[in-house]
Amino acid sequence: GAGVSQSPRYKVAKRGQDVALRCDPISGHVSLFWYQQALGQGPEFLTYFQNEAQLDKSGLPSDRFFAERPEGSVSTLKIQRTQQEDSAVYLCASSSAGGPGDTQYFGPGTRLTVL
Amino acid sequence: DAKTTQPNSMESNEEEPVHLPCNHSTISGTDYIHWYRQLPSQGPEYVIHGLTSNVNNRMASLAIAEDRKSSTLILHRATLRDAAVYYCILRVSFGNEKLTFGTGTRLTIIP
C-alpha cells in the first residue's frame, strides 16, 4: 500500500525566502509528526498533530516555523524567512493510534538547502 | 526523558549475526523499547519493539535484560542491505508521542 509521501524531495531556497513542505500521511492515520534532521545527526522532533489538532509544538525552533493540518490528513510545514541554519532534511511520520507501543511510518524526507 | 546509550559504530561480516547493544539504565516500568533504523538517504524505518519479554519478528529479535536496563537488537544473518544507522528509543507512556532519537549506531556490513 501507499506509504507516507513528501514533496518536494529537494528544495533550494535563497536566504529570506519562505518555503512550504508537504506531507501526505498513510490514509486513515490519526497522528502526524514532523522531525528535522541535520547532517550527521539523528532526527529531532518538531511538532505533532492528532487529526487536525496540533497537540505538541514544543520542538519548533522559532516562530518562523509553522505547521498545519487543517482537515486532519495532509500537513504543511512552512518556514518563513529561511536562514542557513534551517538547512536540513525534514521528515514526516504518521501513525494509526498513538501510544507507547505504536509504530511511526516515515516518509523519505525533504532536503532543504538554504543558500 | 530516559536516555539510551549506544556505540557510535559497529562492523559485521555479511551473513553473520549482529548484536547491537543499548543501555537504558534510567528506564521506567512503563517505557517501551523501540528500535528504528535509517538506511542511507531514506527516512527511519521501524524494526521492532518490546516492553519486558523478548520479541521476534521477520526483521530481527529483541532481547531485553531481566532488569530492563539494557537490550540487544539481533540481526540473525546480516546482509549488505542491513547497513544503516540503528536507533534505540524509549517510548514513554501515553501523552508523550514523539520519538527521541539519539545518535544511534552506524552498522557497516563487510562483504
Q: Which of A5-19, A31-45, A91-105, B40-54 comes out lowest in average pLDDT?
A: A91-105
Nearest to A33 among B32, B41, B98 (CB): B98
For residue A47, how many C-alpha atoms fall within 13 Å in the half-sphere facing its CB?
A: 22
Pairing of strands A110-114, A10-13: parallel
Percent of chain A with pLDDT over 90: 91
| Angle, vertex CA A83, rays to CA A82 and CA A86, nearest 5 | 85
pLDDT for the residue A97: 75
pLDDT for the residue B94: 66
C-beta atoms of A55 and B97 within 8 A = yes
Kindly state the average pLDDT of the residues A19-41.
Answer: 96
Confidence of residue A2 (pLDDT cuts 50, 70, 90): confident
In this model, does residue B93 exceed pLDDT 70? no
C-beta atoms of B42 and A108 within 8 A = yes
- DSSP letter for each residue of A46-63: EEEEETTEEEE-TT--ST
In this model, does residue A87 exceed pLDDT 70? yes
Nearest to B44 among A31, A44, A106 (CB): A106
Alpha-carbon span B65 to A92, nearest angstrom = 32
Q: Which residue(s) pair with A95 in the sheet? A: A31
Q: Provide the shortest C-alpha distance from residue B29 to chain A (in Å).
A: 12
pLDDT for the residue B97: 80
| Residue of higher predicted confidence among B59 and A24 | A24
Residue whose C-alpha cell is 511511526? A104
Kindly state the average pLDDT of the residues B80-100.
Answer: 88
Alpha-carbon span B91 to B36, nearest angstrom = 12
Alpha-carbon span A44 to A36, nearest angstrom = 5
Chain A residues whose CB is inside 8 A of the B87 CB are: 42
Interface test with A, best of B37, B99, B103, B106 (most A CBs within 10 A): B99
Number of H helices, E strands in chain B: 0, 9
Q: Average pLDDT, whole number, for chain B?
A: 93
C-beta atoms of A45 and B85 within 8 A = no
Percent of chain A with pLDDT over 70: 99
Confidence of residue B2 (pLDDT cuts 50, 70, 90): low
Q: Average pLDDT, whole number, for chain A?
A: 95
Alpha-carbon span A56 to B91, nearest angstrom = 16
In this model, does residue A113 exceed pLDDT 60? yes
